[in-house]
């Protein structure tokens, strides 16, 4: 999976950059259809309680998953986004399996 980490108007420390890249790539391995990921890290200006925003977009083969989270620490925001994406990937895999499941074909065949 191709993961791009982009910082908006800030310099992101290398350990945060590598951690974000590794965590998002791990989520992307769960669904083979997802090929690209873009991680955006920025300071939160609209939410006074949070200091950082992490936005992730996973894309590939007609599917697009997006998640956004805010937190006081940059790594905490990354962790929250990864949790949201894991849930979305599980739902996507469930939909794909339901389409190709054998019982569904047998029920729809002779009517």
Q: For residue range 5-61, what is the model confidence (pLDDT) as tens digits?
A: 998 877 788 999 999 999 999 998 888 889 999 999 998 887 677 789 999 999 998
In the predicted structure, residue 104 carries a pLDDT above the cut 60: no
Q: Read off φ and ψ for residue 84, nearest 5 degrees.
A: -65, -40
Query: What is the pLDDT at residue 22?
Result: 95
Domain assignment present for residue 46? The answer is yes
Domain assignment present for residue 111? The answer is no
Domain assignment present for residue 88? The answer is yes
Identify the domain containing residue 12 by its residue range: 2-101
In the predicted structure, residue 78 carries a pLDDT above the cut 60: yes
Task: Count, in order, helices (H) and strands (E) of the chain.
Answer: 3, 4
Distances (CA, A) of 25 to 10, 44, 48, 84, 107: 23, 24, 30, 14, 37
Query: What is the pLDDT at residue 107?
Result: 61
Domain assignment present for residue 23? The answer is yes
Provide the number of structural domains found in the chain. Answer: 1
In the predicted structure, residue 97 carries a pLDDT above the cut 80: no
> CATH code at 19?
3.30.160.100
Domain assignment present for residue 107? The answer is no
Domain assignment present for residue 108? The answer is no
Domain assignment present for residue 77? The answer is yes
Q: Rounded to an integer, what distance in angstroms lies between the CA atom of residue 41 and that of residue 8?
A: 6
Please check whether residue 42 is in contact with residue 12, taking contact to mean a CB–CB distance below 8 angstroms: no
Residues 6+ apart with CB under 8 A from 64: 57, 58
Domain assignment present for residue 106? The answer is no
Q: Which residue has the tokens 């599980």?
A: 90
Q: Which two tokens stand for residue 88?
A: 């979305």
Q: Rounded to an integer, what distance in angstroms lies between the CA atom of residue 101 and that of residue 49?
A: 46
């Amino acid at each position: 999976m191709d993961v791009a980490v982009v910082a908006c108007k800030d310099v992101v420390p290398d350990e945060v950059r590598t951690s974000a890249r590794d965590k998002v790539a791990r989520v992307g391995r769960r669904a083979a259809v997802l090929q690209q990921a873009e991680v955006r890290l920025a300071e939160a200006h609209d939410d006074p309680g949070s200091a950082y925003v992490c936005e992730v977009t996973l894309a590939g083969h007609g599917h697009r998953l997006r998640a956004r989270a805010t937190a006081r620490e940059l790594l905490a925001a990354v962790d929250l986004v990864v949790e949201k994406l894991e849930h979305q990937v599980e739902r996507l895999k469930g939909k794909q399996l339901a389409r190709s499941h054998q019982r569904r074909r047998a029920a729809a065949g002779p009517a």
